[in-house]
Structure 1
Amino acid sequence: MTIDPRHDLASGGTGLYEFWTDRDVPVYLDDMDLASVEVRPVDRVVVLEFEYTEPQWTPAAAVATPVVVMRFEGVTIREWSHDDGGLGQVEDFEYDGERAFRLAAYAMVLGFGATRLTVTAEGRR
């Protein structure tokens, strides 16, 4: 993620919902689908993958790297609900500025605490 104060996690109060990478690629989760959720309880790791799937909503700078991977470590799950309809579009991703996160997608809600976050932008697999 960028350290530019105009585009970092603290700018505009958007947190993980809207930010820019260190290469000035915008990440707009509301324009992305939640592609996968991997929970590793023994390692206390959660890996979330988001993907731009609609060309009209994909920023030009993100075309080469439309998949955003967020790896959370030191995770404690606090809330989890999921319907059997897939994962779907991201509705909200709250971050309290400390260690608490709450992701809401079309058919899922995941609330958790984490001590570390790594974000990467990648090409399609």
Structure 2
Amino acid sequence: MNLFRYFRARRACLLAFALAVAGAPALAGSSGSATIHSSQGSLELHSSGNGVYVAVSKPSSYWSYASGDQIASVAGRPVRTPEDIFSILRATSASTVDSVVSRSGTTLSVTLKVYNYRSSMPPAPPPPPPPPGA
């Protein structure tokens, strides 16, 4: 019986450690990467310490980003995750928005065609549940 309690306690500690290492945002549905596809090509984005990294952009003329770009902001708002970009594009009524990127060490402003993204990006995440007793 003592051996059973020992392993059960260790399993709980390991689970807590794994959740702490994985990070709560991933559990809450906030993704650190996203790939979107259209009939024109695909775009793969990853969160990084300095914004959002463009891993793949094919063709770059459709998405306005090039592979290797580091996206700092979209429509004047800083971005940290691909979902930040998608939520800004979902909320705008403009047909184009400007984005600031670092490309090969140079800071550039690129113009995104919102339609290209809206037709391909994932749906908005569900809202968080209300707090207990609300």
Larger RCO of the pair (alpha carbons < 8 Å, separation 6+): 1
Q: TM-score, normalised by structure 1?
A: 0.30
Greater strand share, structure number: 1
- Structure of larger gyration radius: 2
Greater helix share, structure number: 2
